[in-house]
Amino acid sequence: MTAYAAPIDDIRFALTELAGLDEITALPGYEDATPELVGAVLEEAGKFAAEVIAPLNKPGDEQGSRLENGVVRTPDGFREAYAAYVAGGWNALPFDPEHGGQGLPRLVATAVNELWQSANMAFALCPMLTQAAVDLLTEYGTPEQKAAFLPKLVTGEWAGTMNLTEPQAGSDLGAVRMRAVREGGHYRLKGQKIFITYGDHDLTANIVHVVLARTPDSPPGTKGLSVFIVPKVLVAADGSLGERNDLRCISLEHKLGINASPTAVMAYGEGEGAIGYLVGEENRGIECMFTMMNISRISIGAQGLAIAERAYQQARAFAAERVQGRRGGAAVTIIHHPDVRRMLLLMKSQIEASRGLVYYTAAALDRAARHPETGERARSRAMVELLTPVVKAWCSDIGVEIASLGVQVHGGMGYIEETGAAQHYRDARINPIYEGTNGIQAGDLVRRKVAGDGGAAARAFIAEMAAADAGLAQSNDADLAAIRGPLRGGLEALGRATDWVVETTAHDPDSVAAGATPYLRLFGDVAGGWQMARSGLAARRRLANGDGDAGFYRARLACARFYADQVLSQAPGLAHTVTRGGASVMALSAEQF
């Protein structure tokens, strides 16, 4: 496995040119996030990712986490690396200084989290869920709960988890059976949860589990669910740790990838019942939990981007070194062969497109939280809601595809574990599944986010993307001119498919559901193409001004054109699949499969 190198120049370009970092740092409360500070944060995070976390990736995969005598042990070096992570203040970047956070924009934290996920996805899953637990308690926790749990969660001294799934309740959360019975000022929980990422481990002194359960008199289905915080170790009134709670890890899953991340089967209440504390109101658990889940979905999109970056670096290095075949009579490395270059450019261009979309969405989160104008906050919230399923599903699908291409670039060596290419593919494969499968994300996009408001949010976003056409039209650059046609075609195809979804949902929902996944892919491809067009425009402007590294900006232009030629050009075909493919999807009876 090649060493990881933090792509700081690429990240800085996406932050400044695509996400509008200057506008974000000007928002109320972010005034201290100067360009110098953000630059220093990125540089130090890149060093920490490359020097501390990344070297543990392959040995962690080989060793895995293990359950020994009731105690979960993470791989060698993880405890020390996590202690250094906490000591460096990395977990606290985007959180309120009132609870020990550093108050930096979510946009900056997203860029830093990309570095952790690229360096070692299995390691970075732990702080990702902890940060999601912080968001939940910040939004819905009582003052007492915030005082007891937030300071340690913000710093990362304690970890957080998300407990939803049960053996009979995967995506259908309405089937959850975990019981919570009130007992004075707390509840007693009994039941079992499965697939709990970092459900138990040795990285922190305490783990605060966020658990979905139902009270005895709750209505059936999702309307009867409540959410509770259930600490592994009970916390005394003075903040000190007390007795062990009535919960334990009873087994760890044996998985395809992310082997260093302990995926636990958790048993609650084998004795008197695990003590938990209600967050929000009874029977409002889904509403509360979606705060945590939606942040996690954006983070998973960033994971797809991150693992794609790592796979690309691996493939690029191999292609530059592997000698195979001849060109002009001389032996050459495989990076000189056109099809290998096609694969590498497909990897590189889609990484740039997905990074642009992830960062754009993270910036919208900041605007929704901090913008002084009510209308802009509302517009940004609508944009985040629309883009969350796209970021989660499109970026995680691309992560798998790019990791697969990385194996292909290696040829037979990619199928051999020692190169590391196979691990990236194995690790990436979970992203389209957890936090709501990508099919669920596609269904949510067409039903709730597009048809739900009559297409208003989607059409507003399409109109915003269309504004890039004016910049392309004004340029005499040949690359930008070549980008314009596929972008316009992609926008037209997305607009046509969007109109069809809105018009068809009421009278033929099955056909819309059958086209949901290609619609999401179309949406992502076009949104990524918009980001690449903006990237090309920015690169051309930088070249005209004589700014920085000319080779870097020429590469951005070349990648933008490649994306337009190779990816955006497929948009009309996807629109055809969305609008015409439903009948064939539903043609067979269940018995004919």
d(CA 388, CA 391): 5
d(CA 432, CA 438): 5
Cα distances (angstroms) measured from residue 551 to each of 12, 433, 542, 556, 561 = 16, 38, 11, 9, 15
Spatial CA neighbour of 5 closest among 115, 108, 107: 115
d(CA 365, CA 510): 32
Position 24, amino acid? I
φ/ψ of residue 243, rounded to 5: -80, 155
Spatial CA neighbour of 275 closest among 239, 244, 249, 237: 244
Reading the block at residue 257, the tokens are 């990838």
Nearest 5°: the CA angle 345, 350, 352 is 100
- Identify whether 435 is a catalytic site residue: yes
d(CA 162, CA 406): 32
Of 23, 376, 435, 492, which is the active-site residue? 435
d(CA 185, CA 182): 8
Q: What is the 3-state secondary structure (H, E, C) of 457-498?
A: HHHHHHHHHHCHHHHHHCCCCHHHHHHHHHHHHHHHHHHHHH
φ/ψ of residue 273, rounded to 5: 120, 140
Do the Cβ atoms of 450 and 509 come closer than 8 Å?
no
φ/ψ of residue 248, rounded to 5: -160, 160
What are the catalytic residues?
435
